[in-house]
């Protein structure tokens, strides 16, 4: 019988209790279980080695107990692991943590029997360069967001694609999203919904000064560079809404496809369009 890694949401008593209950369920069926609380690092970007979960590399699957935020945090820490991830939702919207509490054991049976489908999702690698030196980097599943503080002036962001000039956005910020992240901040800012397995990079300006600048969808192999304007103040970069760093005038943000995709256990029987209608309440009165 295989080894299962269970990671539950940090600081939640209910998640810890459910994690222990699931551990006992797997063990009764002969599985070896590694149970741990998530290292939910929120704040400044750190070195890649700091705060990384020590997950057994021979795990059959990683089961994440929490909401989409918990899964995003775990996905960032599983940078180079090819282990499939299954999200059990005890949160809200749940685009990523698709399995409900009521259905969890049915999917656990499939995992133990190794009868499950895996869906690969493209991730991004974001790095910040200052005077030619890399000062921060992170692996991103949803999005990289560059934005200004509430009272700061509009920021100029000079964007090039594969070293070719695209435009200079004069805006409150810019979202660089994956297809998976298209239904997150990108959607709220008026960006397109993209099928989650598509290998694309989406650029969506936030409150752009020019009304003609709209979202653009780029091929996944594109290399995006964003230069921060010389007069920029109070500008930050945030990865997946969880970790970030302050950006200085003249900084260069580089975003490209990450070397390894994330592998999500395909839990739902419904097609993606049914999920959209359900989650976004399309057609409901």
Active site residue 68: yes
Write a three-state SS string for 131-142: CCEEEEEEEECC
**Residue 137 CB contacts under 8 Å (≥ 6 apart), including other chains:** 45, 48, 125, 126, 127, 128
Q: Half-sphere exposure of residue 10, counting CA atoms within 13 Å on the CB side? A: 11
Tokens coding 255: 């975003």
Catalytic-labelled residue, pool 68, 143, 172, 251: 68
Give phi and psi for 81, each to the nearest 5. Answer: -85, 130
- Taking alpha carbons only, the member of 33, 6, 194, 164 closest to residue 87 is 6
In whole angstroms, give the CA distance from residue 138 to residue 240: 10
- Active-site residue list: 68
């Amino acid at each position: 019988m295989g080894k299962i890694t269970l990671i539950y949401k940090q600081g939640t008593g209910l998640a810890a209790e459910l994690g222990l209950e699931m551990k006992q369920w797997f063990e009764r069926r002969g599985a070896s279980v590694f149970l741990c609380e998530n290292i939910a690092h929120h704040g400044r970007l750190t070195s890649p080695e700091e705060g990384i979960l020590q997950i057994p590399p021979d795990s059959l699957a990683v089961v994440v107990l929490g909401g989409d935020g918990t899964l995003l945090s775990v996905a960032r820490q599983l940078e180079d692991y090819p282990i499939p991830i299954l999200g059990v939702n005890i949160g809200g919207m749940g685009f990523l943590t698709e399995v409900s509490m009521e259905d969890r054991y049915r999917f656990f049976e499939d995992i133990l029997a190794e009868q499950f489908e895996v869906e690969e999702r493209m991730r991004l690698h974001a790095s910040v360069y200052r005077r030619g030196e890399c000062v921060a980097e992170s692996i991103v599943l949803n999005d990289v967001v560059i934005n200004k503080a509430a009272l700061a002036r509009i920021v100029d962001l000079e964007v090039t694609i594969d070293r070719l000039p695209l435009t200079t956005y004069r805006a409150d910020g810019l979202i660089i999203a994956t297809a998976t992240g298209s239904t997150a901040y990108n959607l709220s800012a008026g960006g397109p919904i993209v099928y989650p397995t598509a290998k694309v990079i989406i650029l969506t300006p936030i409150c752009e000064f020019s009304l003609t600048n709209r979202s653009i969808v780029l091929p996944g192999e594109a290399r995006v560079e964003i230069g921060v304007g010389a007069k920029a103040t109070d500008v930050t970069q945030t990865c997946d809404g969880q970790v970030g760093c302050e950006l200085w005038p003249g900084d260069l943000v580089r975003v490209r496809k990450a070397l390894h995709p994330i592998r999500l256990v395909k839990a739902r029987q419904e097609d993606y369009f049914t999920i959209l209608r359900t989650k976004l309440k399309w057609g409901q009165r």
